[in-house]
Chain A
Amino acid sequence: MKITVCIGSSCHVKGSREVVETFKRLIEEKGVQDKVELGGTFCLGSCRDGVCLEIDGQIYSVTPDTAENFFNSEVLKKI
């Protein structure tokens, strides 16, 4: 699975860096390095929401606070 996190200005100021760090930590903790690939892109076109990310063509919105829950519920479930 590929998770593409928006790293553009709008998401950057909303904490994309923390979201990426959380995902990186969780990928390692859960030992799913070979199943989840993390990437970045400059805009996913939903700037008004929180930090945007894309999984399999679908756009999601998270915050640094909800990133861990999102990973556990949405990402782990699908791999």
Chain B
Amino acid sequence: MRKFDTKVQHLKYQVLKEVAKEAWDDTLLRNFLNIPKIIVPGDEPTMRCCINKERAILAERVKMAMGGNRENPNNIEVLPMACDKCPASGYEVVADSCRNCLAHSCEESCKFGAVYFDRDHRAHIDKDKCKNCGQCAQSCSFSAIVKRERPCMKACKVKAISAEGGKSASIDNSKCIQCGACVYKCPFGAITDKSYILNVIDMLKKSAQGKGRVYAVVAPAIYSQFKHAKLGQVVAGLKALGFHTVVEAALGGDMVALKESRELSEKGFLTTSCCPAFVSYIKSQVPDMLPYVSHNFSPMVEMSKFIKQTDSEARVVFIGPCTAKKGEAKLEASKPYVDEVLTFEELQALFDSRDIELEKLPEDVLDNASYYGRIFARSGGVSEAAAQALREQNIDFEAKPLVCNGIEECMKALLVASKKLKAGQMPEYNFIEGMACLGGCINGAGCLTHSEVKNKMEVDKYGKEAMEKSIKDAVDAVVI
């Protein structure tokens, strides 16, 4: 079974796996320069114009797998050498496709007078006049007008990526929310997330020598991942790697649901705080909404904090679909609780670096959280959980959620809500659920496979398998 969606992911995985292998063997510092040659051993190029460029880019990928540029606080970085400087010129007429027709519907449709014709009656677009509205492209019977857009810029809804003067992509850290949309969408793998896999290996090694116990806190989105094995086998695999035990972040979701619903009833208006990319957007772009952001921790931090209260020797690694969590874990408020973050992509590399074949392992158990904690992973889940938590706690307050699926919906909702609240008006909803990724965490950039519909069904199924049927039961079972 294919483990990844794209060849770019597979390449990143190969690099991570080799880096991890060397790290386990304590040979990384001696051998890291050889890794590009291990991945492309032949004389002929396999992906780029020449083998030297391929290996040079792979060397950059190795650096990212080893933590990347520490001077740059952003966990998402461009590899300028890997960037193909895709055309970003906006609407253009494709010369071969333009039939030099008589109708000139493109010219008719353009309200800005930007379409003109040469001596051969071939259409052209005047860039100075064009407003990129796309009317001409829609009107052309031959689909001869296309929009030249960089996939990274198209993926980045918060407009943090620029490509001025046809240069390599560049990320504006003040706008970037580290959601990783560009990482998944760049067809050249030229934007990538820094990996802290070495820190995790280091923790596991120390733990094997009796220094600390490493807990894996796994996000509920895991259920739709690693489809070549059963979830119980993934848990067994984590223990085989040396993790002391595996705990559901969803149980932290249950804890958050109880607290956040109380907070909502007390404050009367709230936005969620579980998606770090959403919170980061509010911080940088809509700061007047900050007072309305839930003061509760995300399920990741809540769960990690709880674990550390039960075990003073605990080190916690959060494993999930999210690149933004790498940033959240470094915030002052989360730092004491979350020691490191891995994505599912990185976990697959970690398994394979130790030749752990999940499908051959016996099934272990992962069952603490309720249905509601588990569905935090998908759009609409937090809202359902909050409403349920209000009912379970007999709080007489009606949650009126506005479910924002994807950062674009979040941006619109925050803008409207901020205007209304500033004017002293109450919006028709009182709870904004913000998820930066379309579909929610199940479609995060660090997922092995991305499918909004299939992954949602999987997570709902996982939710229904939970032994505890209510949020309170799940939480009461662990809070002693």
Q: Which residues of A come within 8 Å of B, CB atoms?
A: 5, 7-10, 12-13, 16-17, 20, 24, 38-43, 45, 47
**Nearest CB in chain A: distance from B47 CB, A:** 42
Which chain B residue has the least Cβ–Cβ distance from A12?
B368
Q: Which residues of B contact A43 (CB under 8 A)?
A: 244-245
Q: Which A residues are in CB contact (< 8 Å) with B480?
A: 5, 7, 20, 24, 38-40
Tell me, in angstroms, the Cα distance from A63 to B480 when the chains sit together.
Answer: 17
Chain B interface category by residue count: 20 to 34
The answer to the question of B384 belonging to the interface, with a C-beta cut-off of 8 Å to chain A, is no
Query: Contact at B245–A7, with CB atoms within 8 Å?
Result: no
Dominant secondary structure at the B interface: loop
Contact with A along B300-342 (1 / 0, CB 8 A): 0000000100110000000000000000000000000000000
User: How many Å lie between the Cα of A58 and that of B450 in the bound state?
Assistant: 46
> Does any Cβ of A come within 8 Å of B103's Cβ?
no
Question: Hey, which chain A residues are within 8 Å of B476, CB to CB?
Answer: 17
Kindly identify which residue among B215, B311, B365, B473 contacts A9, using a CB–CB cutoff of 8 Å: B365
Closest Cβ–Cβ distance, residue A31 to chain B (whole Å): 19
Q: Which 5 A-B pairs have the closest CB atoms?
A: A43-B245, A17-B477, A40-B480, A9-B365, A7-B478
Tell me which residues across on chain B come within 8 A of A40, comparing CB atoms: 310, 478-480
Closest approach, in angstroms, between the C-beta of B117 and any C-beta of chain A? Answer: 70
B356-370: CB near A (< 8 Å → 1, else 0) gives 000000001111100
Q: Is the CB of B477 within 8 A of A10?
A: no
Asked if A9 meets B246 with Cβ closer than 8 Å, knowing A17-B476, A40-B478, the reply is yes
CA distance A23 to B366 in the complex (A): 24
Extra A-B contacts (7), CB below 8 Å, given A7-B480, A9-B235, A42-B247: A8-B368, A16-B477, A20-B480, A39-B310, A42-B311, A45-B244, A47-B365
CA distance A39 to B478 in the complex (A): 9
Chain B nearest CB, measured from A75 CB (Å): 15
Question: What is the interface of chain A mostly: helix, strand, loop, or mixed?
Answer: mixed
Q: Are B367 and A9 in contact (CB under 8 A)?
A: yes
- A-B contacts, 20 of them at CB < 8 A, read A7-B368, A7-B478, A7-B480, A9-B248, A9-B365, A9-B366, A9-B367, A9-B368, A12-B367, A12-B477, A17-B473, A20-B477, A24-B480, A40-B478, A41-B310, A42-B215, A42-B247, A42-B307, A42-B310, A45-B244
Interface residues of B in 332-391 (CB under 8 A from A): 364-368
Residues of chain A within 8 A (CB-CB) of B240 are none
B208: interface (CB < 8 Å): no
Most chain B Cβ neighbours within 10 Å, of A5, A13, A38: A13
Q: Which B residues are in CB contact (< 8 Å) with A10?
A: 364-365
Chain B residues, CB < 8 A from A38: 480
B contact residues around A42 at 8 Å (CB):
215, 244-245, 247, 307, 310-311
Say if the beta carbon of B286 comes within 8 Å of chain A.
no
Which chain B residue lies CB-closest to A43? B245
Contacts of B244 in A (CB 8 A): 42-43, 45
Q: How far is the CA of A15 from the CA of B477 in the complex (A)?
A: 9
Q: In the assembled complex, how far is the CB of residue A14 from the closest CB belonging to chain B, in whole angstroms?
A: 9
B185-235 residues with Cβ-Cβ distance < 8 A to A are: 215, 235
A37, closest chain B residue (CB): B480
Nearest residue, chain B, Cβ from A6: B245
Given the complex, which residues of A lie within 8 Å of B56, measured CB to CB? none
Q: Are B467 and A8 in contact (CB under 8 A)?
A: no
Residue of A nearest to B314 (CB): A42
B96 to chain A, nearest CB (A): 60
* Most chain B beta-carbon neighbours within 10 Å: one of A5, A42, A45: A42
Q: Closest Cβ of chain B: how far from A65's Cβ, in Å?
A: 18
Most buried by B among A7, A16, A20: A7
Q: A38-B480, A42-B245, A43-B244 are in contact. Are A12 and B310 (CB under 8 A)?
A: no
Least Cβ distance of A11 to chain B in Å?
Answer: 9
Chain A residues with Cβ under 8 A from B245's Cβ? 8, 42-43
Contact residues of B between 435 and 480, Cβ < 8 Å to A: 467, 473, 476-480
Q: Tell me the smallest distance from the CB of B243 to a CB of chain A, in Å.
A: 10
Q: Report B305 CB to chain A, min CB distance, Å.
A: 13
Chain A neighbourhood of B368, CB < 8 A = 7-9, 12
Bound together, the chains give a CA A42 to CA B313 distance in angstroms of: 12
How far is it, in angstroms, between the C-alpha of A40 and the C-alpha of B364 when the chains are bound? Answer: 20
**Whole-angstrom distance from the CB of A40 to the nearest CB of chain B?**
4
- Say whether A7 contacts B477, CB under 8 Å: yes
